[in-house]
Structure 1
Amino acid sequence: MKIAFIGLGHMGSGMAANLVRAGHEVRAYDLSETALSQAMADGAIGAASLSEACEGVDAVVTMLPAGQHVLSVYGEVFGVAPKSAILIDCSTIDVESARQVAGQAEAAGYQMIDAPVSGGMAGAKAGTLTFMCGGTKTAFSGAEPILAKMGKAVIHAGEAGAGQAAKICNNMLLAITMIGTCEAFALAEKLGLKDQVFFDIASKASGQNWSMTSYCPVPGPVPASPANNDYQPGFAAALMLKDLSLAMQAAAQSDADTPLGAKAHALYEALCSQGHAAQDFSYMMERIRRGA
């Protein structure tokens, strides 16, 4: 297949490379020349413009920062990409923008799906992402074979915007469990328990959770976790704050009560304001240890 890939940041670069490895002709475009050069080194064909990337393709995949970027980019994609091309937005954006761009795509004669991801940079590079998809069954059927080359799980969540809803709810839960895990380790340390001992117990008891067993926020127990690499992401605290902000926006719009989500948002906002936005979100461990 001929696939246009727009947005080659930390996540998009690994995803595009996996599509190349799967045998697809990937036409890459990004405003960053450095990012575009890396994509070309990975085997993609560099495009000089968004329009050039989208001409004659079978699919368009985007990985962009926010809703306004998605709306702007697809405003250019419509009418350039063939009507037969499946449109797949893997960005994490607000639900309303996802529904708006899907409506515009339908009006322009395209099938489109929102397919935000979970798995971070490591998952993007390894091709082990989880895709949460919103759109019609027809659009999902068209997108699934492409997404499967970049991930371990591709799940249809419902109609347009449902993928974004699943993503922000999942990451709100992730933030809450990470903070709780950090608090538990910090208290265990103050009570004289070694990190490995507490891990060995809690990871096999009722406190077990993904933030502990797969992404442990203290060095030692899980060698692959960012805590063993000076908290280099991974999944940056700034990105977690972005997702929590989207969750809080959605909670306000839907009149949902999310007290722990609101507290998690406040804690990550403080962590980022203290100069740790670029570090992994599990750096919350250090903030809780300091108590400030």
Structure 2
Amino acid sequence: MSTTVAVLGTGIMGSGMAANLIARGFEVQVWNRTRDRTRPLVEAGARAAASPAEAVQGADVVLTVLFDEGVTAHVMEQALPSCSPETVWAQAGTVGVKGTDDLARLAEQHGVRMVDTPVLGTKEPAEQGALVVLTAGEGTALAAARPVLEAFSSREVHVGDEPGRASGLKLACNAWVTTLTAGVAQSMAMARAMGADPRLFLEAISGGALDADYAHLKGEMMLSGEYPVSFPVHGALKDLDLMVASARGHGIASGVLDGVRVQFKAAELSGFRDDDIASVFEAVTPDDDTR
């Protein structure tokens, strides 16, 4: 008998994850607030549900890939009463440590086991089944969810048995992603302002200890001025708020993150809210700059 998976949230990440589950032979039931976003998955073999409660009926694993804690809690308050005691909830959205703790309590209230399973990667890795999944949770529940997680990931980094530990590591990783992207934007803007072709910045770091594939990926987008979305600016700002709060809550200086957040907020206010995070380049480039 095949495993039935309910995927709640089929946006940029959830759609790719669900598509891999379908391709691997899982029975997939999908729900999204905007139902049109489930159509390609239905055409690939999924069943669309009219509500979260309908989506989770008969599901062995429920996978949530929703925007934040508030949305996730609202959706799961509708879904959890329809889950069976054997259902495992794999929570993959970026909600922070406190958010994960709150959701774990919600699951416990309904007698459902929740595991903390945020992922590293964006649109393309999700579609390719090449995400890195960070995991934390009770062993048997995690073992039940693991075949589902393996369908859309290239590897797992296990953080511990306590939900929230994986979400903490996810914030640390996203701190690197946003800081690196803002740093590439800053360096390329400075190179241009001081008379160098900004492409030479990418050439200068290429192949050395300072190099990173991600710098070239985002740098090329900055050079083109085209920002097809893999990780939107408004999503990065939500995560940065979680990062700053977490850092301060643990007595860690947040000055670097504060500065990065200022740059992403400027990008949002400049009209790039729904564009890829590479558009932060526009927030550090003079208005009269030409490529």
Structures share fold, TM-score greater than 0.5:
yes
State the 1:60 CA deviation: 0.7
Which of residues 255, 261, 285 is equivalent to 2:281? 285
| Matched AA of 2:122 | G
* Conserved 8 A contact 1:63-1:91: yes
Change (3 A) 1:248 1:232: same
For 1:187, the equivalent position in structure 2 comes to 190
Map 1:123-162 onto structure 2 (within 5 A).
Answer: 123-158=125-160, 159-162=162-165
Q: Shift of residue 26 of structure 1?
A: 0.3
Q: Do the aligned partners of 1:181 and 1:211 also contact (CA within 8 Å) in 2?
A: no
Asked whether the 8 Å contact 1:203–1:212 carries over to 2, the reply is no
Q: Which residue of 2 is the match for residue 117 of structure 1?
A: 119
Query: Among residues 8, 11, 19, which one is paired with 2:10 in the alignment?
Result: 8
8 Å CA contact 2:116–2:163 kept in 1: the answer is yes
| 1:248 counterpart letter in structure 2 | V
SS in 2 for 1:170: helix
Q: CA deviation at 1:196?
A: 4.2
Residue pair 1:140, 1:156 contacting (<8 A) in 2 also: no
- Indicate yes or no: 2:244 matched with 1:243: no
Distance 1:239 1:112, change over 3 A: same
- Please tell me whether residue 200 in structure 1 is matched to residue 203 in structure 2: yes
Q: Distance in 1 between matches of 2:119 and 2:34?
A: 22
- Structure 1: runs of 5 or more not aligned: 220-224
Distance in 2 separating the partners of 1:43 and 1:123: 21
Structure 2 CA distance, aligned partners of 1:259 and 1:227?
28
How far is the alpha carbon of 1:229 from its aligned partner? 7.4
1:230 partnered with 2:226: yes
Equivalent position amino acid for 1:54 in 2:
V
Structure 2: how far apart are the matches of 1:233 and 1:227? 16
Q: CA deviation at 1:257?
A: 0.9
Shift of 1:39: 2.4
Q: Could you say which residue in structure 2 is the equivalent of 1:222?
A: none
Q: Distance in 2 between matches of 1:181 and 1:8?
A: 30
Q: In structure 1, how many angstroms separate the alpha carbons of the residues matched to 2:103 and 2:184?
A: 37
Q: RMSD of the alignment, in Å?
A: 2.1
Residue 172 (structure 1) shift: 1.4
What is residue 70 of structure 2 aligned with on the other side? 68
**Runs of 5+ consecutive residues of structure 2 not aligned to the other structure:** none
TM-aligned CA distance change 1:195 to 1:274, over 3 Å: closer
Deviation at 1:228, TM superposition (A): 4.9
For residues 136 and 247 of structure 1, what CA distance do their matches in structure 2 show? 25
Query: Post-superposition, which runs of at least 4 consecutive aligned residues in structure 1 deviate over 6 A?
Result: none
Label 1:142 to 1:227 Cα distance change in 2 as closer, same or farther (>3 A): farther
Residue 176 (structure 1) aligned to one of 166, 179, 191: 179
Quick one: structure 1 residues 186 and 71, their matched pair in 2 at CA, closer, same or farther if it must change by over 3 Å? same
Once residues 20 and 229 of structure 1 are traced to their aligned partners in structure 2, the CA distance between those partners, rounded to angstroms, is 35
- Structure 1 residues 203-244: Cα deviation after superposition (integer angstroms, max 9, x where no partner): 22332234324x232x3xxxxx57557111121111111111
Distance 1:281 1:228, change over 3 A: same
Q: Is the Cα contact below 8 Å between 2:29 and 2:46 reproduced in 1?
A: yes
Q: Distance in 1 between matches of 2:70 and 2:122?
A: 22
Taking every aligned residue pair, what percent have the same amino acid on both sides? 25
Question: What displacement does 1:135 show?
Answer: 1.7
Do residues 262 (structure 1) and 258 (structure 2) align? yes
Letter in structure 2 aligned against 1:276: F
* CA distance in structure 1 between the partners assigned to 2:42 and 2:203 by the alignment: 45
Select 1:53's aligned residue among 41, 52, 55: 55
**Aligned twin of 2:96:** 94
Q: Tell me the SS of whatever aligns to 2:269.
A: helix
Residues 60 and 87, structure 1, Cα contact 8 Å, conserved in 2:
yes
* Alignment length (residue pairs): 285
What's the secondary structure of 1:268's corresponding residue? helix
- Give the Cα separation in 2 of the matches to 1:63 and 1:169: 19
Structure 2 Cα separation of the partners of residues 229 and 191 of structure 1: 20
